[in-house]
Amino acid sequence: MPAHTRFDNPTTAELVSTDSLTGLGNRQRFFKKLSLYIEAGPRRLSPFAVLIFNIDGFKPIADLFGREAGDTVLAQIALRLHSAVDDNALVCRVGGDEFAVLHPSISTEESVREEAELLLELVSAPYDIGRRNIRVSCSVGAAVYDNQDDSPEAFFAKAESALYTAKRQGCGSVIVHNKEMDETIRRLTRLEQALRSAVSEGQVEPHFQPIVELRSGKLIGFECLARWTDRDLGSVPPSVFIPLAEERGIIGPLTQLLLKKACLAAREWPREMFLSFNLSPTQLIDSHTTMLVLSTIADTHFDPRRLEIEITETGMMSDPASAKEIVSQLRDVGIRISLDDFGTGQSSLGRLREFPFDKLKIDRSFVSALLDDRPSEHIVKAILSLCDGLHLDVVAEGIETQQQAAKLKAMGCRGGQGYYFGKAADHNLTLARVRRTLSSEKKGVAHHSMRLAS
């Protein structure tokens, strides 16, 4: 192991700062060395860089092949990185599936990118785990030390920010921090702190978009959508704060807050109307997700049979075993499961057989092109036929015109959702809509009865 090559007779201090699995230094040793480099300041003879390697999708590897196989991969990655860098560089394991390299003599973005790509190619080669060979990919975030005012934590945060960006770009990406990213870091930090405060103070609100039965036009349920307006930042789009909540570990408390508010609101609707609620992809690999959902509906006394949980193909694919277990646990108590954005992900049709779904939602990209694009029309027809054969409910998303609604109805689509039927609204406006709908239905029944009597 790498550490054994350095320490024939390790001291107590060295043992405390050593990762027991890989023999590399741990996070404590890394920051101690980083602090020494920064404190040296002008006396330091050369610039330096930090590179962070994060294994893409490591948990599924351990789940599929076993913990021992996962440990073997981690140990081999450690050995490859340690063997590949020069003697003055420091390689440490700073997280469960994360390694950091403190590399001297790197002074430009170009040189650190070249080094990252070389190391990335090295760690991407196959790994021997007994009778199998497997491959892994890593995302890399890096930064070159060029600001004498940065503390060790602030400098490391720059590399971490680059890593977050690399993870968003996809597996195997390399991002090197640059000066233009500093403002992004400051903005995201402000946004993160504001979001944490908003969640703790209950300031993120659920809005509800109607879902209708296309054949009759009857209102049958609502999808919960998160909305956040900050007193200083103004209205913050979900496309901004939801990914941030996922990255910074806020998604659990945010989900609990929204689900609780949504369940309390839905209790005031007629019992035949359902509540549809989205789970983040990151929550489908979190063993606490089932308890979070079940405890929330228990606390609010909401009937689980009126709740639909929406998951995406992307979320389902990141860790199929974990996702399947969570889906099964939720369905056991009567919660229905809906596969959102169907047709846009990377899962195979075999997943529909493996996962116990109750409903598919046709992605808006197919609906928007339905009237003008023959391939989109055929895809929608195929999805509807598939749902009919598998006895699945189906809802088309993104319906914006009467013509789209009529076309889908003629094609046999059962449910619809989109601006044509109404935008998402807060609890009070949603409740007013429900009451108007009930009043109209009662008047319609009374009028029909009078016609029969005459």
Q: What is the pLDDT of residue 271?
A: 95
Is residue 395 within 8 Å of 364, Cβ to Cβ?
no
* 366-398 pLDDT, tens digit each: 999 999 999 999 999 999 999 999 899 999 999
Give the H or E element holding residue 48.
Answer: strand 48-55
- At residue 452 the predicted structure's pLDDT band, cuts being 50, 70 and 90, is very low
Look-up: residue for tokens 């939602």? 361
Instruction: Please give the CATH superfamily to which domain 2-178 belongs.
Output: Reverse transcriptase/Diguanylate cyclase domain (3.30.70.270)
pLDDT at residue 346, as a whole number = 52
pTM, 2 dp: 0.74
Q: What pLDDT sits at residue 204?
A: 97
Annotated domain spans of the chain? 2-178, 190-442
Model pLDDT, residue 350? 67
Q: pLDDT tens digit string along 217-255? A: 999 999 999 999 999 999 999 999 999 999 889 999 999
Q: Own/partner pairs for 215-220, CB < 8 Å, 24+ apart?
A: 215/409, 215/414, 218/441, 219/273, 219/433, 219/434, 219/437, 220/272, 220/273, 220/274, 220/415
Q: Catalytic amino acids?
A: 397
Instruction: Of 422, 426, 402, 404, give the one whose Cα is nearest residue 413.
Output: 404
pLDDT, average across residues 61-65:
75
Residue that wins the pLDDT comparison between 15 and 119: 119
What CATH number should be reported for the domain whose range is 190-442? 3.20.20.450
In degrees, rounded to 5, the angle at the alpha carbon of residue 118 between the alpha carbons of residues 113 and 120 is 90
- Over residues 156-210, the pLDDT tens digits come to 989 998 998 898 888 889 999 987 887 877 888 899 999 999 999 999 999 999 9
